[in-house]
Amino acid sequence: KANLHEKQNLSELLLCWGRDQFCNPTDVDAINEERVLESLAPHPEGELKELDVHGYGGLAIPQWMKDPRIFLQLRELNISHCPRCVDLPMVWSFPCLGHLSLSNMDSLTTLCRNVDVEAAGHNTPLQIFPVLKTMRLKHLPKLERWAENSAGEINSSMTFPRLESLSIINCDKLASFPDAPVLKYLYLSNGKEKNSATGALIPMPIPLDCLSSLVRLNISFLPVDVVMPPDGQQSQSQRPLDTLRHLRLGGDGGFVSVFNKSKLQLGLRDCLVLVEELRIELCSNIVRWPVEELRCLPRLRRLSISYCSKLEGKGSSSEEEEILPLPQLETLQIYYCDSLLQIPKLHASLEVIEIYCSRSLLALPSNLGDLAKLRNLDVWRCSVLKALPDGMDGLTSLEQLEIGDCPGIERFPQGLLQRLPALKRLSIWGCPDLQRRC
């Protein structure tokens, strides 16, 4: 038992029971841990700025966590692996709280309770999360509402006035999205795809107008329903997603959430024109190059496609010779796409090409030699690739050439290395015939 009540200058407090998500407390554990936590009250007028609670097995928070004086200077609150706990401090009322992280709280249903009650010690009018900038919610299977008042009535709307970063991971029952007018980073994930045995997830509706400040959007294994504004109600001065630059989509649900044909027809296509980076991961429903979807991204500079196991790259006869519709693309990364057979022609804007572990790839882009700006070309573990295309002497800016574990490549095009004036680094490994000839 530690007497923390007298430690007025305590700034950080870490309370850890050493419990992980696979270790559930017994009834006896819960009672004992409630008594222990109650005895660890900091000084009510101290300078506590960071509080971490990990592995607590009690049902309720102690009385001292209900004293707002203790949290007047709190900047950061992290609570994790507390499977029985059903309650939280009045986090919405902490005047200095900038970071909130809640994870593995199996019994938590409501983020904010009693939001109509003004906490004692406030000299200013009631505010909700006045300075919160970062919030992370992870593995909260019963969380279903953002806020309720003292009568237990659900608050239909919730505003985080200064929230810049929001992560929601494995919170399957949370079916609404808060108002966050300055939100810059949004990460939504279910961790993995739902299967037929567990049932499909209900898409989380997100009004497009709520994303007016977004810079980074990451959607993984979670269907999202982007709610388009009614006709005539969209702001003409600033369209939603005008600030979006980085887009990362994981799983079939993530890809379809954004590149849904009906949404694109309703105007979402126009909201993606300023995106500069796109990452597509673990999408098993992509078989052909998503040419039409990529047309929505005319300013894309970086494209990464990884772990798309069914992507073959084939198109119709008219598409096979078509140039990938990304006129400003500078970096193309293709990782672990084992079914990929071919890559479309590329624009002359390309500067970096990285192709790793695409074991079915038969050929590099046929117009590779036209990429006069290309600086880096890395090809690793493409085991059936037989040759490099002719015309590569047009790569007058190429500085780095790496070929690894591609045993089918036996030789360079005749005299290639002598016609690459900018080459600074040549790395060859796992290519026995090619290594001998070099």
The pLDDT tens digits for 264-277 are: 877 888 889 999 99
* Interatomic CA distance for residues 181 and 207, integer angstroms: 12
Of 278-292, 311-325, 409-423, least confident by mean pLDDT is 311-325
**pLDDT score at 197:** 43
Gyration radius from the chain CA atoms = 27
**pLDDT score at 313:** 84
Query: Residue 367 is which amino acid?
Result: N
Q: Measured between alpha carbons, how far is residue 329 from residues 112, 166, 257, 297, 373 in Å?
A: 45, 29, 23, 10, 11
Q: What is the DSSP letter of 241?
A: T
**319-372 per-position pLDDT tens digit:** 445 789 999 999 999 999 999 999 999 999 999 999 999 999 999 998 999 999
Of 54-58, 206-210, 348-352, least confident by mean pLDDT is 206-210
Q: Which helix (H) or strand (E) holds 266?
A: helix 261-266
Of 163, 178, 183, 172, residue with least CA distance to 140? 172
Give yes or no for a contact between 69 and 104, defined as CB atoms under 8 angstroms apart: no
**389-404 per-position pLDDT tens digit:** 888 889 999 999 999 9
Instruction: Give the phi and the psi of residue 258 in degrees, each rounded to 5.
Output: -95, -45
Q: Which segments of 171-307 are extended strands (E)?
A: 185-189, 204-207, 216-220, 224-227, 246-250, 277-281, 302-306
Instruction: Give the phi and the psi of residue 71 in degrees, each rounded to 5.
Output: -110, 15
**pLDDT score at 413:** 87
Instruction: Give the phi and the psi of residue 64 in degrees, each rounded to 5.
Output: -70, -25
Nearest 10 degrees: Cα torsion 264, 269, 275, 278: 30
Of 235-239, 325-329, 386-390, least confident by mean pLDDT is 235-239
Question: Can you tell me whether residue 185 is helix, strand or coil?
Answer: strand
Is the Cα dihedral 120, 99, 61, 41 positive or negative?
A: negative
| Token pair in block for residue 86 | 């059903």
